[in-house]
Amino acid sequence: MPSDARLLLLDKNQVEALLQPADVLDAVREAFVLHSQGEGRVFPLVREPLATGGVFGIKSGDVQSQGLLGFKAAGFWPANRALGGEPHQATILLIDPATGRPQCVIDGNAVTTMRTGAAGGLGLQLLARQDSRRLCLFGTGVQARIQLTFALALLPSLKHVRYVTVTDQPDAGFERAFGERCDISHATDRNAAVAASDVVITATPGGGALFDLQAVQAGTHLNCVGADTRGKRELPDGLLARTRLFVDDRDQARQIGETQWAPDTPCTEIGDLLSGKAQVDRHASDITVFDMTGLALQDLTVARLLHQRAAAAQAGTSVHWPW
């Protein structure tokens, strides 16, 4: 049996040094197209509550034609905040499909953050009105920041941002981070902010409806990030019935996304738009929703990119892993 096998380890700092937003965007686009074409498979999702108060999940899949196989073990541990740590934790493992041997272990936090931001940006490019100028953002955390970063980069018509915080208090640091890229201010009336916006992004823990049904006006596009577990939601009852609904994966969205609350709502997978299987044909008065639950294939295409870059740059830690 081979005794010279190696396993590459990429920690948080190494991952962040290797990640580039434009390359992640390309990798996420590829993941959606592979999913649409049936070349990339998404295996049954694991997402379970823990006695500690956390949530643990596994997203896995493969692309047989590319020799790509692996999974991300991830979840949410709210008690980490009291320890000064990030509550979202994720680890990605790439596996050789020919032998089952591990190839690369990757800190998945930055991967999850950026690939989700890239997916949101693609959703805006495909679904939002291209003359959209006003955005309402719920949340100011890690995911809210990356969603806004990609939104401003990929939908340049956006000029005015109103944000809503869980405390209903302004966040000076958040405003400083984006103040040079847009007109940004705290919204004291969330319904009014939604009603005045062309784009709404919800990036919260998904504890309940964030605004009233009547606040959403004709022509609005919504990117919904926070519903990623059974029981989570950010949208009010009755909204999906008024919208044209787009998802990353139909079955997964019905299981853990906003679509779980209206599972019979007709929907289109966003990969089908990118592959040409479906068309948007958006009317100015349409309300569109992108229900984002996150695909294993997104993690795997980005992880493969990182593995290749690390190998070329001789980055990371290579350890002896005989078998």
The verdict on 30 and 71 lying in the same domain is yes
**What integer pLDDT is reported at residue 201 of this predicted model?**
98
How far apart are alpha carbons 247 and 259 in whole angstroms? 9
Instruction: Show the CA angle centred on residue 77, arms to residues 293 and 208, nearest 5°.
Output: 55
The verdict on 136 and 284 lying in the same domain is yes
The verdict on 94 and 242 lying in the same domain is no
268 domain-assigned: yes
Show the low-confidence residues of the chain (pLDDT under 50).
none
The verdict on 187 and 264 lying in the same domain is yes
**What integer pLDDT is reported at residue 48 of this predicted model?**
95
Q: Which residue reads 């990640």 in tokens?
A: 19
1 domain-assigned: no
**What integer pLDDT is reported at residue 3 of this predicted model?**
72
The verdict on 76 and 164 lying in the same domain is no
The verdict on 301 and 262 lying in the same domain is no
How far apart are alpha carbons 93 and 88 in whole angstroms? 17
Model pLDDT for residues 30-60, shown as the tens digit of each residue: 999 999 999 999 999 999 999 999 999 999 9
3-state secondary structure of 110: helix
Non-local CB neighbours of 169 within 8 Å, separated by 6+ positions? 186
205 domain-assigned: yes
The verdict on 163 and 246 lying in the same domain is yes
How far apart are alpha carbons 209 and 115 in whole angstroms? 25
Structural domain span for residue 45: 6-111+297-320
The pTM score is 0.95
Q: What is the CATH number of the domain that holds 91?
A: 3.30.1780.10
The Cβ-side half-sphere exposure at 168, using a 13 Å CA radius, reads 5
The verdict on 156 and 74 lying in the same domain is no
How far apart are alpha carbons 107 and 11 in whole angstroms? 5
Instruction: Show the CA angle centred on residue 218, arms to residues 212 and 222, nearest 5°.
Output: 65
How far apart are alpha carbons 278 and 316 in whole angstroms? 41
78 domain-assigned: yes
Give all strands (DSSP E) within the chain, no chain letters.
6-10, 40-42, 46-49, 55-63, 68-76, 88-95, 102-107, 134-138, 160-164, 183-186, 199-202, 221-224, 244-247, 267-269, 288-291, 317-320
Tell me how many domains the chain contains: 2
Q: What is the CATH number of the domain that holds 153?
A: 3.40.50.720
* Token digits of residue 24: 């992640």
244 domain-assigned: yes
Give the neighbor-by-neighbor strand order of the sheet with 199-202.
183-186, 160-164, 134-138, 199-202, 221-224, 288-291, 244-247, 267-269
233 domain-assigned: yes
The verdict on 123 and 145 lying in the same domain is yes
The verdict on 174 and 313 lying in the same domain is no
Distance spanning both ends of the chain, measured CA to CA: 6
**What integer pLDDT is reported at residue 1 of this predicted model?**
59
Instruction: Show the CA angle centred on residue 52, arms to residues 50 and 55, nearest 5°.
Output: 40
130 domain-assigned: yes
The verdict on 104 and 188 lying in the same domain is no
The verdict on 242 and 146 lying in the same domain is yes
